[in-house]
Amino acid sequence: MTDWDDLRVFLAVARSESLSRAGRALRLDPATVGRRIARLEVAVAAPLFVKSPQGYVLTDAGARLLPHAERTEAAVTGALAEVEGEAGRLTGSLRIGAPDGCANYLLPQVVTRICDENPGLEVQIVALPRVFNLSKREADMAIAVSRPSAGRLTVQKITDYHLHLAGARDYLAAHAPIVGLGDLRGHRIIGYIPDMIHDRELDYLSELGAETVALASNSVSVQLMWVRQGAGLAIVHDFALPFAPELDRLLPDQIALSRSFYLIRHADDRRVARLNRFAEALADGLRREVARLESAGLTAPHIRRLTEL
């Protein structure tokens, strides 16, 4: 009879393709992970992994076992969710993948409130500007700026958010007034590294009529720090403006972008009540936080009026 704990180790190795990474996720040393896999291979009388230059790759037997192990995981997680937790509180560990703008300026507040209401809950935020592979369980759920077009996933639109051109007040005072798009010529533009833009929704250059960026990073936080230091101008999330009081929005009637956040989950997880409850709390919290911060960002002194230039 196969032990569920060995199946849990099998899933971790299958998703991470590494004994060491699986061990870190499970808080086990790699040698223990290897012994658990060997024990499972004896139990099923078949090799489950082949070591390759890329890591541990599933054999045919391992690939056949994978969907069964995932269904067992969903059943065990769902059963535990129904009986655990005081007064229906969420417990255990969850991992969220998100673009770093959302991860830096929205998720800390939202997740803190959820964890305050559920003291037994542990949440990990992975802030990476890329698409997460939920099939490999890189995260329990992910936030993205566009709908995925492939995979066994469920997609829920969370909310729209807005972005505008912005610059530091000292920088703007040292340059000629910006009253139209033509006045942007000669200004240093800050943005994403072009060949590292993983989603077309993050390509803002066409909105500015610019062909290149002088200072580039794949991190929204790095871009914002450059703007705050007076290095140039950039498209900035409205929900980030309250964290940068020295910035002014520019040409709000001419440059106004709208994007959306989507909550992405593996299709099999829709039957897991615990994940459903967390997803609902997360989406509701993000909607409220975006609305709160964007409202705060619209107040003076963030909008630079043309009469002041």
- The CATH number of residue 141's host domain is 3.40.190.10
| Residue-level pLDDT at 74 | 73
Specify whether 10 is located in the same domain as 132. Answer: no
Q: 277-283: list long-range contacts, CB under 8 Å, 24+ apart.
A: 277/90, 278/90, 278/94, 278/114, 278/121, 278/141, 279/141, 279/156, 281/90, 281/114, 281/117, 282/96, 282/110, 282/111, 282/114, 282/141, 283/156, 283/158
Q: Evaluate the omega torsion of the peptide bond into residue 301 and state whether it is cis, within 30 degrees of 0.
A: yes
Report d(CA 81, CA 90) in Å as an integer: 8
The one-letter amino acid code at 158 reads I
Specify whether 211 is located in the same domain as 302. Answer: yes
pTM of the full predicted structure? 0.71
Specify whether 247 is located in the same domain as 173. Answer: yes
| Residue-level pLDDT at 252 | 93
Tally of domains within the chain: 3
Q: Encode the chain (309 residues) as per-residue pLDDT tens digits.
A: 457 788 889 988 988 889 998 888 888 899 999 999 999 999 899 999 998 887 899 999 998 898 888 888 777 766 655 555 444 678 888 889 999 899 999 999 999 999 999 998 999 998 875 555 555 567 789 999 988 877 778 899 999 999 999 999 999 999 999 999 989 988 999 999 888 887 788 888 777 777 788 999 989 999 999 999 999 999 999 999 999 999 999 999 999 999 999 999 888 777 778 888 999 999 999 999 999 999 986 654 554 443 343
Specify whether 175 is located in the same domain as 48. Answer: no
Q: Which domain holds residue 222?
A: 161-257+298-308
Identify the three-state secondary structure at position 17: coil
Boundary residue ending a domain (83, 106, 136): 83
Specify whether 204 is located in the same domain as 304. Answer: yes
Specify whether 9 is located in the same domain as 78. Answer: yes
Specify whether 43 is located in the same domain as 153. Answer: no
Contact 95, 126 (CB under 8 A): yes
State the CATH number of the domain containing residue 56.
1.10.10.10
Q: Among 148, 149, 101, 107, which residue's Cα sits nearest to residue 128?
A: 101
Specify whether 17 is located in the same domain as 76. Answer: yes
Specify whether 177 is located in the same domain as 303. Answer: yes
Q: Among 74, 240, 248, which residue's Cα sits nearest to residue 163?
A: 240
Boundary residue ending a domain (65, 83, 101): 83
Specify whether 206 is located in the same domain as 265. Answer: no
Boundary residue ending a domain (58, 83, 108): 83
